[in-house]
Amino acid sequence: MTKLAVGNSKISRREMLRLSALTTAGAVLVACAPAAAPAAGGGAAAPAADTAVTLTIFDFGGDADKKIYADAHARFKEKHANVTINDNFTPVSTWSEYSNKIVTQVAGGQSPDLINIAIEGARLLQSKNLLIPLDDIMAGDASSKELTDDVHPALSAPFKIDGKTWYIPHSWNNMVIYYNTKMFADKKIDPPKADWSWDDFLETAKKLTSGDGDKKVFGFGIPYFNFGLTPWLLTNSTYQLSEDWTKSNLNDPKVIEAVQFVHDLVHVHGVSPAVEGTDTSNLFSSGRLAMSGWGHWPIQGFVANNFKDFDVVYWPRKTAATSVFGVGGWGLAKETKQQTLGWELIKELTSKTTIQASAAAGVAIPARRSVAESKEFLEFPTNSKIFYESLNDTKPVASPANFNELETIVMRHMGEIMSGAATPEVGMNAAHDELAAALAKLK
Amino acid sequence: MAQIQKTASAGWLRKESQREALAGYLFILPTFIGYTALVIGPILAAIGYSLTSYDILSPPEFVGLQNYRDLLTDPRLHKVYLNTIYFTVVAVSLNVGIGLLLAVLINRNMPAFLKYIFRTAYFFPVLVALTYCSIIWQYLYQKDTGIINYYLGLLHVEPIAWLSSPAWVMPSIIAMDVWKNTGFAMLVFLAGLQGISQDYYEAASLDVANRGQLFRYITLPLITPTLFFNMIIYMIGALQVFDSIVVLTQGGPGDASRSLVMYIYENAFQLFHMGYASATAITLFIVIMLLTLVQFRVGQSWVHYE
C-alpha cells in the first residue's frame, strides 16, 4: 500500500483518509489517484519478432511534424512488423503546457515508452523520476556514435543532468531577428549588419515606423514570450538565473535595463505595437511590421503563404553578441518495458532520413550538423547559415525543473510592466522575490 | 416457512405504493451513483488533498491546515477573489438586466417573423463556441490594429488598451461575456413572460394602468421565479469564469483579469501545488454554497409563485 509521509511517522493512505474524515466514496476516488513513483524499467532484450508489442509515444509539433514522425514510424515498422506505435500527439502552445500534460498523464497511469520533450520541460521530467538514463544503452550500441558525432556539443549539454544523458537531441531553435527586405529597400535602408547594436536597432525601427491609425506600420513587433524576451537579457550580458540555474537573477540592474528597453519600444519610442494579443507573424507577413524575432519555426508558414520578402540577422547587441536557444530531444520513459525497441525507435526518429525530412519541412533547425549545413536547408532565407553558426555563442534558455513557475512568474510581471501597472524596476524586483522563493522550494 | 416468506415478499411487492417507491429508487439510482462518484467523491477527495502537500507524482504529505493558513496571507489570492467578485456582480447584473430588457422588447406585439429574427439574433452568440468568440473579440479589442479602436479613431478618440490596461481589461471581458451570454437569459425570460395570463393585463387596463405600471405591478412580480432562476444560474457560472479569460488575456496584464478558477487551475495543473489548489477550491465551494443559500433565503421575500 502506498504510504504517506506525516512528519517523521508513516501512516497508510487509508488511515490518512480516515483522519481526514473522508467517506468511502472519497476513498475510492483517492485510491484512483496515480501510484506515487513509477516502477523501474523493463528488460533490455527485444521480444521475439512474432510477439505483438505496442510502443506509446508522447509527441508534439504541428501537422508537418506529425507526417514526418508517421513516415519514421512506417520505416521502423518495416524492420519491426510486430510493433504497433501509438503516437499520442499534442499540438504545442507552450512548453510548460506540454510538459505539464505529460506529468498529468503519467500521474493518471498513462506512462508512455518514449517522450519527446523540449529543454524547457526536460528537467521537470528528469526530476520527477520519469526517465531512464541512456548512457548504458548508448555505450552498448556502436551505431550511436554516428549520431552523437553529428550533433553540436552545445545541443547535447542541456540534456546531460547529474552527469547522465537523458535525451537525444533531434532539433532546436534560436532567436534571430527577421526583417522585411522589401520594406527596407523601399525606405532605402541598408540591411542590418551582423554586429549591429541596440542603438542601431532602435534607429532602424524608428525609420521604419510610419503612418497613423489603421495605416500605421511598426518598425518592430516584440516577440512577447519568455523565449523571445530572453535575447534582450543575454545581449545585455545577463540572464534570468544564476549560471547553475539555482538562484534568481531577475533583480540584476542589467535585467531591469533590458526590460526597460523593451518597455520603451512600445511606450516611449512607439516603434512596437502593444504586446497583448498582437499576432506578430500575421502583421509581419502583411507588411505592418518591418522586423520581429523568431526561431526557425515561422519560415514554413511564411513561404506557404507566398511571403518570401524577408531575411534573418543576428540579434542586436548591447554588450554581448549572443542569443538564446532551445532544443528538443527523445527520452525513454522509466516505465517502459521495451527499452531495446524504444531505443531502436529513437534511432529512427533521430536518423538522418528523419532529420532531413524535418529540415525540408522547415519547422526547426536540425540537430544534426550534416543536415543543418546541407544546401537544401541553407537555401532560404538567404542568411540561413546564421542559425547553426550562432550556436557557438548562444546560451540555452534557463530551464530549471520548475520552468513552468519561472515562465509564469516572468510573464505575469512582464504583463504588469508592459501595461504600465508597474515600473520595470518594481516589476522585476517583485518577480525576483517570487522566483527566488519558488527556486528555494525546489531545493 | 419458505411458503410464508414467499407470500410476504410477494405481498410487499403487491402494494402499489411500495412498487412505485421501488421503481422510483431504481430510476434515480444511476443519477445517485453518478452524483456520488463524480460530485460528492471529488469534493471529499479535494477536502482530503487540501490537508496535504501533493505534486501528483510524489506521495501526499499531511500538512494539516497549513494550506488554509497560506490562503490568508496570499496577496494574489485576494486579487483574484476581488476580480471574481467584480466580474460576478457586474456580469450577472448586465446579463440578467439586458436579457430581461430584450425579452420585454421582443415580447411586444410585432409580426411573427420579426420576433423570430430578433430572438434568433440575440440567442445566436450563445450557440457559438466560446473559444471562437474570444479569439474574434481579441482581434476586435487589439489596441493598435483592432477594429474597435479604428472606428473610435474616426471619432478622434485615442486608442484604448482594451486588453492590456488594468483599468479596461475587466470591463472588456464583461462586455464580451454579456454579448455572448445574455441571449440565454432573454430566452428564459421570454418563456416566463409568455406564461403570464393576459387576463391580468386586461384587468389592469380596465383600471387605466399605464405601461410602466403594468410592468412594475404585473410583469415583474410574475416573472420573479424566472428572475430568481437566472440570477442563481448566472451567479454560479460567473463565479467559475475561466475559458473566456484564458483565451482573451490569460489573466493578464499581471493578475488584472485572473479569475479564481484560473488561479486554482494554475496551482493545480501548472505548478502542481495540488494541496493548495484544493484548499482554494474548497473556499470557492463554500462561497458558492453560502451565496446560493442566501439567495434562496432572501428570495423568499421577493419571489412570488402563482
CATH superfamily of B71-302: MetI-like (1.10.3720.10)
CB contact under 8 A, B56 and A3: no
Which chain B residues are closer than 8 Å to A276 by Cβ? Answer: 143, 161, 163-164, 249, 252-253
Chain A residues within an 8 Å CB radius of B47: 20-22, 26
Asked if residue A307 belongs to a domain, the reply is yes
- The pLDDT of residue B146 is 86
Please write down the HEC assignment for all residues of chain B: CHHHHHHHHHHHHHCHHHHHHHHHHHHHHHHHHHHHHHHHHHHHHHHHHCCEECCCCCCCEECCCHHHHHHHCCHHHHHHHHHHHHHHHHHHHHHHHHHHHHHHHHCCCCCHHHHHHHHHHHHHHHHCCHHHHHHHHHHHHCCCCCHHHHHHHHCCCCCCCCCCCCCCHHHHHHHHHHHHHHHHHHHHHHHHHHCCCHHHHHHHHHCCCCHHHHHHHHHHHHCHHHHHHHHHHHHHHHHCCCHHHHHHCCCCCCCCCCCHHHHHHHHHHHCCCHHHHHHHHHHHHHHHHHHHHHHHHHHHHHCCCC
Is A261 part of any domain? yes
Q: A259: how many CB neighbours lie within 10 A of its CB? A: 26
Burial class (CB in 10 A: 0-12, 13-18, 19+), A87: middle
pLDDT at residue A41 in the model: 36
Residue numbers in B near A335 (CB within 8 A): none
Cα(A55)–Cα(A335) distance, rounded to whole angstroms?
12
Range of the domain at A183: 176-322+402-442
Q: Judge if A67 and A148 occupy the same domain.
A: yes
Verify that A184 and A270 share a domain, yes or no.
yes
Q: How many CB pairs under 8 A join A and B?
A: 152
> Does residue A278 share a domain with residue A143?
no
**A195 and A236 in one domain?**
yes
Same domain, A60 and A121: yes
Q: Are residues A107 and A144 in the same domain?
A: yes
pLDDT of residue B9: 54
Contact of B96 with chain A, judged by CB distance below 8 Å, is answered with no
Instruction: Write down the pLDDT at residue A36.
Output: 32
Mutate to test the interface with A, among B66, B74, B80, B144 (most CBs of A within 10 A): B144
Cell (9 digits) for B64: 494539516
Nearest to A343 by CA among A64, A94, A76: A76
Of residues A408, A419, A397, A14, the one with CA closest to residue A173: A397
Q: Are A420 and A353 in contact (CB under 8 A)?
A: no
Cβ atoms of A59 and A31 closer than 8 Å: no
Is the residue at A305 inside a domain? yes
Find chain B residues with C-beta within 8 A of A111's C-beta: none
Averages of pLDDT over each 10 residues, chain A, 443 residues: 34 39 32 32 52 88 86 92 91 78 86 93 90 93 89 93 94 95 96 96 97 87 96 97 95 98 96 88 94 93 92 97 95 92 94 90 87 86 90 92 92 94 96 95 79
Q: Is residue A164 part of a domain?
A: yes
Q: Could you say which of A4, A33, A412 has the minimum Cβ distance to residue B255? A: A412
Record: contact A4-B60, CB cut-off 8 A? yes
Interface membership of B272 toward A (CB under 8 Å): yes
Same domain, A286 and A182: yes
Tally the C-alpha atoms within 13 A of residue A399's C-alpha that lie toward its C-beta: 28
pLDDT of residue A315: 97
Contact B159/B144 with Cβ under 8 angstroms?
Answer: yes
CA dihedral for A282, A285, A288, A289, sign (positive or negative):
positive
CA–CA dist B141, A270 (Å, integer): 19
Question: CB distance from B8 to chain A under 8 Å?
Answer: no
Residue of chain A whose alpha carbon sits nearest to that of B141: A277
Of A7, A103, A283, the CB nearest to B57: A103
Q: What is the pLDDT of residue B112?
A: 87
Q: Do A34 and B60 touch (CB under 8 A)?
A: no
Which of left, alpha, beta for B184 (phi over 0: left; psi -120 to 50: alpha)?
Answer: alpha
Q: What is the model's pLDDT at position A6? A: 32
Grid coordinates given for A402? 520548475
CA dist B295 and A125 (Å) reads 47
Distance to chain B for A308, nearest Cα, Å: 23
Interface of B with A in 241-260 (CB under 8 A): 248-249, 251-256
Alpha-carbon span A173 to A176, nearest angstrom: 9
Cβ separation A408–B270 shorter than 8 A: yes
Inside any domain, residue A26: no
User: pLDDT value at position A332?
Assistant: 96
* CB-closest option in B42, B248, B270 to A96: B270
Please return the burial class of B300, using the count of CB atoms within 10 Å of its CB with bins 0-12, 13-18 and 19+: exposed
Q: Which residue is closest to A121 within chain B, CA to CA?
A: B270
> Contact, B247 vs B131, CB < 8 A?
yes
Q: What pLDDT tens digit does each residue of chain B (306 aa) get?
A: 445 555 555 565 567 888 888 999 999 999 999 999 999 999 999 999 999 999 888 889 999 999 999 999 999 999 999 999 999 999 999 999 999 999 999 998 888 899 899 999 999 999 999 999 999 999 899 888 888 998 998 898 988 999 989 999 999 999 999 999 999 999 999 999 998 988 988 898 888 888 888 888 999 999 999 999 999 999 999 999 999 999 999 898 999 999 999 999 999 988 889 999 999 999 999 999 999 999 889 888 888 776
The grid coordinates listed for A316 are: 542586436
**Does the CA dihedral A342-A347-A353-A359 come out positive or negative?**
positive
- A30 min Cα distance to partner chain B (Å): 6
CB contacts of B74 in chain A (<8 Å) are: none
Helix (H) or strand (E) holding A9: strand A9-12
B165 has a chain A CB within 8 A of its CB: yes
Q: Are the beta carbons of B44 and A23 separated by less than 8 Å?
A: yes
Of B63, B74, B145, B265, which to mutate for an interface test with A (greatest number of A Cβ within 10 Å)? B145
Put simply, the answer to whether B45 touches A26 (Cβ < 8 Å) is yes
Question: How many domains, in total, are found in chain A?
Answer: 2
Closest by Cβ to B59, choosing from A4, A278, A421: A4
- The whole-angstrom distance between B278's CA and the closest CA on chain A is 13
B161/A418 touch (CB, cutoff 8 Å), yes or no = no
Mutation site, A1, A15, A125, A214, interface B, largest B CB count within 10 A: A214
Do residues A75 and A146 share a domain?
yes
Q: What is the pTM of this model?
A: 0.82
In CATH, what number is assigned to the domain containing residue A283? 3.40.190.10
Residue whose C-alpha is closest to residue B48's, from B244, B274, B212, B243:
B274
Q: In B, residues 169-208, which contact A (CB 8 Å cutoff)?
A: none
As annotated, the residues of chain B forming the CATH 1.10.3720.10 domain(s) are 71-302
| Cα A117 from chain centroid (whole Å) | 8
CA–CA dist A152, A173 (Å, integer): 13
Answer with the one of A396, A416, A431 that is the final residue of a domain.
A396
**In angstroms, what separates the C-alpha of B92 from chain A's closest C-alpha?**
26
Same domain for A384 and A243? no
pLDDT tens track for B217-254: 999 999 999 999 999 999 999 999 999 999 999 898 99
Beta-carbon separation of A277 and B255 below 8 A: no
Instruction: Kindly determine whether residue A103 and residue B272, on different chains, have CB atoms separated by under 8 Å.
Output: yes
Residues in contact with A78: Cβ distance below 8 Å, sequence separation at least 6, in sequence order: none
Give the closest of A213, A288, A419 to B153, CB-based: A213
The answer on A214 and A152 residing in a single domain is: no
Q: Is residue A146 part of a domain?
A: yes
- Closest chain B CA to residue A26: B41
Q: Is the ipTM value over 0.85, yes or no?
A: no
CA pair distance A347, A145, nearest whole angstrom: 11
A191 and A285 in a single domain? The answer is yes
Q: Cβ contact (<8 Å) for A419 and B253?
A: yes
Which residue is listed with cell 512528519?
A: A7
> Residue A223 to residues A72, A196, B21, B72, B116: CA-CA distances in angstroms?
33, 19, 66, 37, 47
- The CA distance from B131 to the nearest CA of chain A, in Å, is 14
**Lookup: cell for A386:** 546564421
A11 assigned to some structural domain: no
pLDDT at position A418 is 94
C-alpha closest to that of A81 among A48, A43, A58, A113: A48
Grid coordinates of A306: 507566398
Q: Which residue of A has its CA nearest to B274?
A: A104
Residue among A5, A17, A283 whose CB faces B145 most closely: A283
Q: Do B305 and B192 contact (CB within 8 A), yes or no?
A: no
A169 plus A180 within the same structural domain: no
Under a CB-based contact definition with an 8 Å cutoff, are residues B163 and A227 in contact?
A: no
